[in-house]
Amino acid sequence: MGQSLMPAEEAAASAPARESAGVLAEAPAMAVPGGAAPTRESPGPLFRSTSRRRLQERLIGGLLFLCGAASIFTTLGIVAVLLTEAVGFFTEVSPIEFLTGTEWTPLFVPRHFGILPLLCGSLLVAGGAALVALPVGLASAIYLSEYAPDRVRRVLKPALEVLAGIPTVVYGYFALTFITPLLKQIWPQTDVFNAASASIVVGIMIIPMVSSLSEDAMSAVPRSLREGAYALGATRFEVATRTVVPAALSGILASFILALSRAIGETMIVTIAAGATPKLTLNPLESVQTMTAYIAQVSLGETPFGTLEYKTIFAVGLALFAITLLMNLVSLAILRRFREVYE
Amino acid sequence: MRELEATPESAGGQPEAGRGSQFRPRLRVRRAIGAVFAALCFAATLFGLVVLVVLLVDVWRDGAGALSWDFLNGFPSRRASRAGIKPALVGSAWMLLLTTLFAFPLGVGAALWLEEYAPRTRLTRLIQLNIANLAGVPAVVYGILGLAVFVRTFALGRSIVAGALTLALLVLPVIVISAQEAIRAVPNSIRLGAYALGATRWQTIWHHVLPLALPGILTGTILALSRAIGEAAPLIMIGALAFVPFVPEGPLDSFTVIPIQIFNWISRPQASFHQLAAAASLVLLVLLLGLNAVAILLRNRYSKRY
């Protein structure tokens, strides 16, 4: 990102100079057509509108700034919405109960508002997804960056990225009707809705994210490092695992964190395949409920506006937003440090 | 590349080893490890592709039988044999149209400001960081925002506009980031040439930078929109209906989209509805494939201009 700003910054720095140069350039230009075609009424109007053009420039600049600022309003909107409704929720339920309670039964009495079961569900699914996606994604990144011939890479990389474009409902369908029966054949005690099948499929979904971001990081490792290692007698395997991967480690780490944050935020796959039973369990073959699945479940039902149940969406949403925001920020921070190394 | 591996080893490794030093190349073992590792990495790459193929074959096997003209042109029904996806198809088309209308100008505008206008200030850095972060916010959270702002505060109800505005916010960061990349790829010499002829900044952008960056911007936008078309979670949040027995006619009508229809059918226990879900998934995949093909075509056709 530091890099991404450079051209704009340069442009901005030299902008006043350019503008005044533009104005100066008009003076001789005015003389030429005036002299060459004296029969024309006046070439003036073409050039005299400098002040109007300036105004127009200002307006457009302002308009474009508003477009850029829209993103700030989006973030402010998210935070404001989540906070105002969550504050309403926390006047009725103590934050301590919310953060430490081990039961989540907001939709029926006796009501309990402990988010830990939902958090546990989310982490169980994300953890399972990480088990699938991190090794597979990293290994395919290593293959694409260090082993694959150019022609193979040009075919494989976009093909792999198709995985990221499959709609999540279709993944949900796949988890429920293909992976779950498969798991049942291996472990007959598997529930119809279970964390394992959801996490396998979420993992598959985030493979392209891990592999393509990690590959970018590895491709950015200077060739001289590899050649140095080869010159010392390293095999290709040693170059890949002891030179390239360590050198690209921050980028790889950032891709892991981003992918995990994506797994925690994934909604449809877990709603379809992981079930709707909030519980504190580490058994992946049981039905669980994630934070996202709970939010979807409540909004699918007929929950009246303004009730405590309705407000739970915002409290859980706030927790979800905070977790993913933190992960994204950490990953961006790591990435930025990494980029500075090679520039 | 393969020769690179062999040369340094045979040149440096083997002769040295004989001179009584502690260094033992163990080349055979290391090569074997390397070969196993390479095979594993290759297998990992193939794993993703194999799963992709299995998924597509699975959906095709389950759903192809239910595909028919009546299915495309029919309305949802409580009887699986009669149900169709016409309202969902029309709803998705509306969604695509309106989301583009909202997100494209806003996204390109933001990208232009960031690349061509933004001064080097903290505010600019904040906006850039903010956009990168928004790209990682879960889709349901956008749904919550849409529910509270568009459905409630703006009183748009559970309408197409409310859904499209929500989706527009969701894809906006992706559009901005890809448009920025496309704009950045326009060589600076073109801007300088325009300035030298006395063009103002906006004239330069409008007549020179934008036309050159447009294929890249369009490619990124189409890819972002294909994400929006497959998205169900934020629309469930704002209350898109699962059972819409009519074709929406205006932007304020209630609606459903294909992903929500699929979700609705999967949620039912009967296998006959699962078959419908697979068939609708096929329709959705074909739609996405079409969008992606357009994007790839644009990229290949125009990417080598400078």
What does the alpha-carbon distance between residue A293 and residue A281 come to, in Å, rounded to a whole number? 16
Which distant-in-sequence residues (6+ apart) come within 8 Å of A180 by Cβ? A190, A192, A193, A194, A197, A273
Percentage of residues of chain B with pLDDT beyond 70: 91
Question: Quick check: B5 pLDDT over 50?
Answer: no
pLDDT digits (tens, 9 = 90+) for A49-103: 678 888 888 899 999 999 999 999 999 999 999 999 899 899 988 888 889 888 8
pLDDT at site B9: 44
Contact: B52, A162; criterion CB under 8 Å: yes
Q: Is B139 helix (H, G, I), strand (E, B) or coil?
A: helix
B52 in Cβ contact with A136 (< 8 Å)? no
What does the alpha-carbon distance between residue A309 and residue A103 come to, in Å, rounded to a whole number? 15
Q: How many beta carbons lie within 10 A of that of residue A182, not counting itself?
A: 11
pLDDT at site A18: 40
Average of pLDDT values for A327-342? 78
What CATH number belongs to A116-338?
1.10.3720.10
Question: Quick check: A260 pLDDT over 60?
Answer: yes
How many C-alpha atoms does A222 have within 13 Å on its Cβ side? Answer: 7
pLDDT digits (tens, 9 = 90+) for A159-207: 888 888 899 999 999 999 999 999 999 998 888 899 999 999 999 999 9
Is the Cβ of A21 closer than 8 Å to some Cβ of chain B? yes
Question: Quick check: B59 pLDDT over 60?
Answer: yes
Please report the residues numbered 86 through 125 in chain A whose beta carbons come closer than 8 angstroms to any beta carbon of chain B.
none
Q: How confident is the model at residue B52 (pLDDT cuts 50, 70, 90)?
A: very high
Chain-centre distance for alpha carbon A309: 29
**CA dist A63 → A66, A176, B33, B113, B129 (Å):** 5, 48, 59, 9, 20
Question: Quick check: A328 pLDDT over 80?
Answer: yes
What does the alpha-carbon distance between residue B151 and residue B166 come to, in Å, rounded to a whole number? 10
Q: Which amino acid is at B231?
A: E
Please report the residues numbered 213 through 272 in chain B whose beta carbons come closer than 8 angstroms to any beta carbon of chain A.
223, 226-227, 229-233, 236-237, 239, 259, 262-263, 266-267
What does the alpha-carbon distance between residue B56 and residue B136 come to, in Å, rounded to a whole number? 27
Please report residues of A whose CB lies closer than 8 A to that of B141: 78, 82, 265, 317, 320-321, 324
Higher pLDDT, A7 or B19: B19
pLDDT at site A49: 65
Q: How confident is the model at residue B190 (pLDDT cuts 50, 70, 90)?
A: very high
Average of pLDDT values for B137-153? 92
Contact: B34, A140; criterion CB under 8 Å: no
Dihedral of CA atoms A70, A73, A78, A80 in degrees, nearest 10, equals -170
Q: How many beta carbons lie within 10 A of that of residue B127, not counting itself?
A: 23
Question: Quick check: B43 pLDDT over 90?
Answer: yes
Question: Quick check: A24 pLDDT over 50?
Answer: no
What does the alpha-carbon distance between residue B255 and residue B264 come to, in Å, rounded to a whole number? 14
pLDDT at site A140: 95
Average of pLDDT values for A28-36? 41
* Residue of A325, A133, A179, A304 lying closest to B135 (CA atoms): A325
pLDDT at site A317: 95
Q: How confident is the model at residue A12 (pLDDT cuts 50, 70, 90)?
A: very low
pLDDT at site A338: 63
- Best to test chain B binding among A56, A71, A207, A268 (most B CBs inside 10 Å): A71
The least confident of A117-131, B199-213, B292-306 is B292-306
pLDDT at site A5: 37
pLDDT at site B246: 77
Average of pLDDT values for B123-143? 92
- H or E segment and range at residue B35: helix B27-63
pLDDT digits (tens, 9 = 90+) for B6-42: 444 444 444 444 556 777 888 889 999 999 999 999 9
Question: Quick check: A216 pLDDT over 70?
Answer: yes
Please report residues of B whose CB lies closer than 8 A to that of A240: 37
pLDDT at site B71: 86
Q: How confident is the model at residue A28 (pLDDT cuts 50, 70, 90)?
A: very low
Question: Quick check: B47 pLDDT over 80?
Answer: yes
Higher pLDDT, A246 or A27: A246
Q: Is A104 helix (H, G, I), strand (E, B) or coil?
A: strand
pLDDT digits (tens, 9 = 90+) for A268-319: 999 999 988 888 888 899 999 999 999 998 888 777 777 888 889 999 999 9
When CB atoms are compared, the residue of A168, A176, A313 closest to B232 is A168
pLDDT at site A149: 92
Q: How confident is the model at residue B173 (pLDDT cuts 50, 70, 90)?
A: very high
Nearest Cα of chain B lies from the Cα of A280 at a distance, in angstroms, of: 23
For residue A113, list its beta bridge partners: A104
pLDDT at site A14: 43
Domain extent listing, chain A = 43-84, 116-338
What does the alpha-carbon distance between residue B49 and residue A84 come to, in Å, rounded to a whole number? 45
Question: Quick check: B88 pLDDT over 50?
Answer: yes
pLDDT at site A2: 37
Q: Which amino acid is at B1?
A: M
B81 in Cβ contact with B272 (< 8 Å)? yes
pLDDT at site A255: 94
Q: Retrieve residue B149's tokens.
A: 């702002």
Question: Quick check: B83 pLDDT over 90?
Answer: no
Average of pLDDT values for B150-162? 88
* Residue ranges in chain A assigned as alpha helix (H): 6-36, 44-48, 50-92, 95-100, 116-142, 150-165, 168-174, 180-186, 195-219, 223-231, 236-238, 245-247, 249-265, 268-273, 291-300, 308-341
* Residue ranges in B113-146 assigned as alpha helix (H): 122-134, 139-146
What secondary structure letter does DSSP report for A284?
A: T
For chain A, the average pLDDT equals 84
Is the Cβ of B8 closer than 8 Å to some Cβ of chain A? yes
Q: How confident is the model at residue A208 (pLDDT cuts 50, 70, 90)?
A: very high
Average of pLDDT values for A206-218? 93
Is the Cβ of A181 closer than 8 Å to some Cβ of chain B? no
When CB atoms are compared, the residue of A165, A237, A268 closest to B226 is A165
Please report the residues numbered 65 through 94 in chain B whose beta carbons come closer than 8 angstroms to any beta carbon of chain A.
none
For residue B159, list its beta bridge partners: B254
Q: Positive or negative, the Cα torsion across B54, B55, B56, B59? A: positive
Q: How many beta carbons lie within 10 A of that of residue B268, not counting itself?
A: 14
The least confident of A9-13, A56-60, B86-90, B114-118 is A9-13
B194 in Cβ contact with B208 (< 8 Å)? yes
Q: How confident is the model at residue B303 (pLDDT cuts 50, 70, 90)?
A: low
pLDDT digits (tens, 9 = 90+) for A113-158: 999 999 999 999 999 999 999 999 999 999 999 999 999 988 898 8
- Respond yes or no on whether ipTM tops 0.90: no
pLDDT at site B294: 87
Question: Quick check: B58 pLDDT over 90?
Answer: yes
